[in-house]
Structure 1
């Protein structure tokens, strides 16, 4: 677990580490995943025992990421409630669930794909699907990830609780359909609540872009004539056009890292160009920031589809036949979001979703109620156990 300034605010949160067995040489992604599973399943019972012995409040629940479904077995062995947290959008969860249930073939046989009970999203073009579902070379280093993301549903019906990082009004269709398969609880948006209560006076998504694409983005930003903050990792800076930093210094600031939430919460931010990772998408939605969607892989294409065509809070760039988004397209999309009646419409929609996100997590909101219900049930089980011991 990573210690951040947000976890430090929570005095009751204790951060512990799990050590890996040292290994000489390079591990494949699949082997690394297996070693991680072995290390966690070995260490977790020890940690639970230590905490139970040192605290007056024994552990009663194991909340785990849905990408680690094997932790439900550990919870059962320890006599704990098992709660799975799905960290993708519910729309993406629906796609992976349909793959798991063999209702959607990989790769899809049709150019247009219908996902069960999602008329707002269907039909989807193949390029709107998560990249693992579009089809992947079986020899690819990442081919095991399809089994990984679909495997989230291997014990979907067996977990005691299923949480989803979304809110009901944002993905009503997707939530209702998945809830028809088994009970789920939307508890999002999972971002620090104090950001939703104020405005201040780029997921620094880590997808690496090629030299040509970096250059096209750079010149597109410059041509838009907008002030911009661009997060470019140190290892990527060499891909920027010669003299670009100097030539754009009056309008642009290029940094290797920025506190994304604080930037998005700033009242002067009018547009967020993003690869559409779900955390970044939810943060922008929750803070009312319009988006230019430039998806790369994983769940990003489906999130971009929702941004542009379902929630109408941004536009999606179009790549040319070489797969490159040209500078003219970058400029045009930024201007479309920032200017004119289309820009006004996008800003109105962004403000609407911002208010609905805050309503969901405010006291009595849909997500707040779901978390309160969970806490109350854990408390009830705890007191029943204590009473039975008397």
Structure 2
């Protein structure tokens, strides 16, 4: 029996927000690059797995990937309060026992012991679990290099700023951390400043555990951040592997139905359409939705709006009807293809990391409305460091602020400068994924790392 038949990569997902999908995409990419004999097991909660796997926890075309359900920590008959952090807290309470128990069951069922743990970086307990089994732990960080550097510097930040609600220091920059002179205290995720919730303690535990990982993998590329940030990460982590921009898996049959978006876009002039999407989890509050609709209608801007929240759709029904001749609203759009389309002139976004990277690779300027987590940091980079987009005045949508943002990006001289800047970053990304590019070489190293098997 070849060593490859004994290789079993166990992938652990963090089942909230956009986290499970990028990890599954990475697993798909690795499974395609590895020998068909290499087994990939994807561990996730049942509810999350149902959204990712069409049937029977299998993926068509990927015979060496199988999903397994882990307990989500929700007691039988539990009624949720509506607090979005509640299910996360219950899940955290169930870890790491839920993953450990299910992995042991799968090993017994299949007779194939795990030879590598590939996990969402949030699941810090994988460091100890991998050490107990005697296998490598590879952590996948779903955001960018700047936020992970800030998490790794949590103790430095707290020593300097303290854990308090002092609003006076919000404009203070973090110039005491390498490469962070442009980042303000106001940009920091609250979980770094306040270690008083299960989620914030999870992130702090992650910051302490990541230096033990055999490698930390990012959907990023060399040169996207200041060299000081990269050097700080290299000094703290055993190995950091930028493997992006990651290719998007081929669209499935249901997703290809979104292709009419592309034919619709083709009927518009160059750089004329505003593409609007706030990701899978977010919808701005009603007053901000109204402000955005007002400006689009007043300026007669053609728009393609990926609008998923049916509970708020009624708020804009009149607007959608009045503007149906110039606008298109869909529940899902093939974002990578949309952002690369010549008819799109701006991306109105929440500034999630995947959206930012896809915007860069599509060469698309951004209007940013961040909400939480790393999104404020990404907005700072987009507007003040890379200068490839703008935020909105006051941090939330208003008619006057949005009108100025559209004027700058779509109709003003600064828009040309923004496009020039994003073109330079796009070129960096393209170089990274060339045959001998750094991301290509890093991915080859990753394949070798997760599929190596010490038979002793």
Worse overlay, 281-290 or 203-212: 203-212
| TM-score normalised by structure 1 residue count | 0.83
Flag structure 1 segments of 5+ consecutive residues without an equivalent.
none
Post-superposition Cα deviations, 1:204-261, rounded to whole Å, max 9, x if no partner, equal 2422322211111111222332211112221111232x62112211221122332322
Q: Determine which of 56, 67, 76 is the counterpart of 1:16.
A: 67
* CA contact 1:292–1:333 (8 Å) conserved in 2: yes
Call closer, same or farther: CA 1:122–1:51 in 2, change over 3 Å. Answer: farther
Flag structure 2 segments of 5+ consecutive residues without an equivalent.
1-48, 81-85, 252-261, 267-276
Q: Determine which of 268, 271, 295 is the counterpart of 2:343.
A: 268
Q: SS state of the match for residue 272, structure 1?
A: strand
Cα distance, 1:118 vs structure 2: 3.5
Cα distance, 1:64 vs structure 2: 0.7
* Cα distance in 2, alignment partners of residues 194 and 344 from structure 1: 32
Query: Corresponding residue for 1:251?
Result: 326
Is 1:154 aligned with 2:229?
no
* Cα distance in 2, alignment partners of residues 116 and 367 from structure 1: 29
* CA contact 1:126–1:134 (8 Å) conserved in 2: no
Query: Corresponding residue for 1:278?
Result: 353
1:354-369 → structure 2 map (5 Å cutoff)? 354-369=426-441
| TM-score normalised by structure 2 residue count | 0.72
* Cα distance in 2, alignment partners of residues 169 and 193 from structure 1: 25
* Cα distance in 2, alignment partners of residues 249 and 176 from structure 1: 50
* Cα distance in 2, alignment partners of residues 340 and 123 from structure 1: 25
Query: Corresponding residue for 1:174?
Result: 229
Is 1:234 aligned with 2:310?
yes
Call closer, same or farther: CA 1:52–1:286 in 2, change over 3 Å. Answer: farther
Structure with the higher fraction of residues in strand conformation: 2
1:1-390 → structure 2 map (5 Å cutoff)? 1=49, 2-3=52-53, 8=59, 11-20=62-71, 23-26=76-79, 28=86, 29-35=88-94, 37-53=96-112, 59-100=114-155, 102-104=158-160, 105-107=162-164, 110-111=169-170, 112-119=172-179, 121-133=180-192, 143-171=197-225, 172-183=227-238, 184-192=240-248, 202=277, 204-232=279-307, 233-240=309-316, 243-319=318-394, 324-377=396-449, 381-382=452-453, 385-386=454-455
Call closer, same or farther: CA 1:68–1:10 in 2, change over 3 Å. Answer: farther
Post-superposition Cα deviations, 1:321-366, rounded to whole Å, max 9, x if no partner, equal xx74211211221221112321111111222222211221222111
* Cα distance in 1, alignment partners of residues 301 and 193 from structure 2: 35
* Cα distance in 2, alignment partners of residues 369 and 108 from structure 1: 44
Worse overlay, 63-72 or 246-255: 246-255
